[in-house]
Amino acid sequence: MLELTGLRRTFGDLVALDDVSFTVPEGTIVGFVGPNGAGKTTAMRIALGVLTPDAGEVRWRGEPVDAQMRRRFGYMPEERGLYPRMRVLDQLVYLARLHGLARSDARRRAEQTIEVLGVADRAKDRVEALSLGNQQRVQLASALVHEPDLLVLDEPFSGLDPVGVDVLSGVLRRQATNHGVPVVFSSHQLELVERLCDAVVLIDGGRIVAQGTIDGLRARRERRRFLVKVRGAGDGWYDSIPGVELTEATADGVVLELADDVDEQRVLDLARASGDVERFGPVRATLAELFREVVGA
């Protein structure tokens, strides 16, 4: 388990992180979500030790993280970086060996990793000769090549085509489920986060504003909304019900928000009384909606 506890970091007057704490348990994929400049990259850099916090600490399996543990982490920085003139396979073998793998293991793992990520046919090419999408795949390979104990990936999906997104999703899922590797990644693709992650951490302005499973966030944050379609009822049939407000009218019906003390069964009764109810059900908030609500944008 990776634990970040009470992290604080300032750059001059800017408070990049303010008392940031969250955990990434074994076998769990955690989505790290927040607007640009919220502090995601700073937190990840601190976790990887390329940045020191002003306060707080990072623990791995209960111990403060040191250089030896970090060598077993897999990291994809926000600013991508590889040797542009080095060949793909050579580069991955080199990085695997820096992570402590023996020569033969490093080579085998490098070959496996580019195979999985679909760039095996570019093994002998220089990185600079690859398309951006393929460079991204090699970058991911560099984070995975040494079979890390932990994965910290900053925007790993940006720049990938839909096939690449599927491949990477599969890789992360297997790392977490089959190998018990904790995975934390940041992304602005909230649908993807929703689909892939077991838990999310929402950060805004350097502070954690919400964290937990997506269902848990929904339960806590979700407004009570129902999509209702009543055939034969005039517009505004719900106007007379206290505590019910129209939030959206769509072709599929109207979205009504119910106040906490309103019983949805009573609304259903009134709907029936107004006409034929074709549709009546709760609206599940998407992560994007939860995000907007929490961030207040």
Beta strands 253-258 and 14-24, pairing class: unpaired
210: three-class secondary structure by DSSP: strand
Please tell me whether residue 13 binds other proteins under the rule CB under 8 A. no
CA distance 147 to 72: 8
Tell me whether residue 71 or residue 292 sits nearer to other proteins (CB atom): 71
Q: Which residues contact 122 (CB under 8 A, 6 or more apart)?
A: 88, 114, 130, 134, 138
Binding mask 42-81 for other proteins (x = CB under 8 A): x--x--xxxxx--------------xx-xxxx-x-xxxxx
Please tell me whether residue 41 binds other proteins under the rule CB under 8 A. yes
Binding mask 109-148 for other proteins (x = CB under 8 A): x--x--xxxx-----------------------x---xx-
**Which residue type, as a one-letter code, is found at position 295?**
V
Binding mask 239-258 for other proteins (x = CB under 8 A): --------------------
CA distance 105 to 142: 14
Among 59, 94, 159, 218, contact with other proteins (rule: CB under 8 A)? 94
Tell me whether residue 70 or residue 218 sits nearer to other proteins (CB atom): 70
Q: How far is the CB of 12 from other proteins (least distance, A)?
A: 9
Specify the stretch interacting with other proteins by CB under 8 A; choose among 164-172, 188-196, 258-266, 267-275.
Answer: 164-172
Position of tokens 């106007």? 239
Distance in angstroms between the alpha carbons of the first and the last residue of the chain: 32
- Using alpha carbons, select from 114, 72, 68, 74 the residue that is nearest to residue 93: 114
Beta strands 2-11 and 14-24, pairing class: antiparallel
Neighbours of 55 (CB within 10 A): 13
Tell me whether residue 77 or residue 159 sits nearer to other proteins (CB atom): 77
Position of tokens 């580019």? 114
- What residues make contact with other proteins under the rule CB under 8 A? 11, 14, 16, 37, 39-42, 45, 48-52, 67-68, 70-73, 75, 77-86, 94-95, 97-102, 105, 108-109, 112, 115-118, 142, 146-147, 154, 163, 166-167, 170-171, 174, 178-179
